[in-house]
């Protein structure tokens, strides 16, 4: 909702009202009708989507933020599982593990196609046949960090036992990471020494695990913002770009279930080299992190400022201005071209930033030098 409300704040004519799912969907649908809703944004799974559409007297455009079967009049906006796997696998490969695997805790029409195949394509495990397990689990057990797991289901116990150790296991379901940790402990497997675990649990569930859980988290605010933008386009009669929109917005939060110390070492030298080479091409801090780091954004910013003495954004800007000075004194290129060559959005932006840094105008600096 934070992302949806942020979008609405920028568009004052939008009115948003929340409706909690009710057992009597007909009553909820009638309330929607009386309020005059023009579109819906929800987190509805397979059965819920059909129930909602069946209860509405007139079809409303729906943007959904949960994976479900495609249907007319609905767009699904979700995090890109490829980004989750790439982030997690990049982290696990730093640990020198013998095997990587994925545990899928639900069965559904798109599970094997979207989750298992994506993992196998990106991770390229040595033994693909044994690198995945689809095993539907009780949600009450997943969402309760103190729920007992003994006896561990036979299929799951056998699969975990047969993975070449040390192994890395991914699970993208809420509560799944903590569930794997509890199962491993019940089986006498050490975490992270025998099995390193990465989940997608929220902060509370991650910290409730013992050991605490390393997690790749989707930026839900980004999903909400993009979902609301697409919903407004559908209300206006424009067709969405596709039935499913996947957003690459995943952040790694390293904790004890993968061993916190080694992966949290930032590659500051690599970041500085990237800034030196690409700052004048308009590179952003996020792109520097994506290209050079395997740590969270917060960890990178903190370590970069401690070591370099400035923020990554300040380092990028300083490199751009360094090149501006060189071109001003060593060439006769026009200001507009220098602005483009150094990665600024416009000559006006360059002029303002240069004056703030040098206390003089671009032309006066060139003339004096």
The pLDDT of residue 122: 92
Enumerate domains of the chain plus CATH numbers.
2-77+220-247 (3.40.50.2300), 81-218+252-258 (3.40.50.2300), 265-369 (1.10.10.60)
What is the Cα–Cα distance from 93 to 168, expressed in whole angstroms? 9
**250 phi, psi to nearest 5 deg:** -115, 135
What is the Cα–Cα distance from 179 to 199, expressed in whole angstroms? 10
Give the rounded distance of the alpha carbon of 167 from its chain centre: 24
What is the Cα–Cα distance from 69 to 50, expressed in whole angstroms? 9
The pLDDT of residue 26: 76
The beta-carbon contacts of 333-336 under 8 Å, at least 24 apart in sequence, are 335/362, 335/363
Per-residue pLDDT of the chain (369 residues; tens, 9 = 90+): 888 888 888 887 888 887 765 567 777 778 888 888 899 898 887 777 888 888 888 888 989 887 777 788 899 888 888 888 999 999 998 888 889 999 998 766 566 567 888 899 999 988 898 999 988 888 888 888 888 898 999 999 999 999 999 999 999 888 999 999 999 999 999 999 999 999 998 888 888 899 999 999 888 888 889 999 999 999 988 988 888 888 888 888 888 999 754 444 677 888 998 999 999 999 999 999 988 887 788 888 988 998 889 999 999 999 999 999 999 998 989 999 999 999 999 999 999 999 999 999 999 999 988
The pLDDT of residue 363: 94
What is the Cα–Cα distance from 200 to 84, expressed in whole angstroms? 9
What is the Cα–Cα distance from 299 to 320, expressed in whole angstroms? 24
The pLDDT of residue 262: 45
The pLDDT of residue 110: 60
Judge residue 59's burial from the number of C-beta atoms within 10 Å of its C-beta, 0-12 exposed, 13-18 middle, 19 or more buried: exposed
What is the Cα–Cα distance from 26 to 41, expressed in whole angstroms? 18
Alpha helices in 187-267 (DSSP H): 203-208, 220-235
- Count CB-CB contacts under 10 A for residue 21: 12
Written as six digits, the tokens of 329 are 């004194």
Written as six digits, the tokens of 30 are 């009638």
């Amino acid at each position: 909702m934070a992302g949806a409300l942020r979008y609405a704040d920028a568009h004052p004519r939008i009115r948003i009202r929340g409706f909690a799912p009710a057992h009597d969907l007909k009553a909820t649908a009638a309330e929607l009708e009386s309020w005059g809703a023009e579109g819906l944004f929800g987190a509805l799974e397979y059965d819920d989507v059909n129930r909602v559409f069946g209860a509405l007297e007139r079809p409303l455009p729906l943007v959904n933020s949960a994976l479900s079967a495609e249907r007319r009049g609905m767009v699904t906006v979700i995090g890109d599982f490829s980004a989750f796997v790439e982030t997690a696998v990049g982290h696990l490969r730093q640990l020198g593990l013998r095997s990587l695997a994925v545990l899928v805790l639900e069965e559904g029409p798109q599970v094997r196609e979207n989750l298992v195949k994506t993992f196998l394509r990106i991770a390229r495990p040595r033994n693909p046949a044994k690198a995945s397990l689809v095993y539907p689990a009780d949600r009450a057990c997943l969402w309760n960090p103190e729920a007992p797991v003994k006896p561990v289901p036979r299929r799951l116990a056998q699969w975990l036992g047969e993975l070449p150790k040390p192994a890395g296991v991914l699970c993208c379901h809420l509560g799944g990471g903590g569930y794997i940790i509890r199962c491993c402990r019940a089986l006498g497997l050490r975490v992270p020494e025998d099995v390193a675990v990465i989940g997608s649990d929220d902060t509370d569930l991650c910290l409730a695990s013992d050991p605490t859980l390393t997690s790749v988290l989707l930026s839900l605010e980004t999903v909400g913002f993009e979902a609301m933008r697409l919903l407004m386009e559908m209300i206006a009669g424009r067709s969405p770009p596709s039935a499913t929109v996947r957003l690459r917005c995943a952040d790694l939060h390293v904790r004890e279930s993968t061993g916190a110390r080694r992966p949290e070492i930032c590659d500051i030298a690599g970041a500085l080299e990237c800034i030196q080479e690409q700052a004048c091409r308009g590179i952003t801090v996020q792109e520097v992190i994506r290209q050079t780091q395997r740590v969270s954004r917060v960890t990178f910013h903190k370590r970069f400022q401690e070591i370099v003495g400035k923020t990554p954004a300040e380092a990028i800007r300083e490199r751009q201005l360094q090149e501006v000075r060189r071109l001003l004194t060593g060439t006769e290129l026009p200001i507009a071209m220098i602005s483009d060559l150094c990665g600024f959005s416009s000559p006006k932006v360059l002029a303002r930033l240069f004056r703030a840094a040098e206390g003089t105008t671009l032309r006066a600096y060139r003339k004096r030098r």
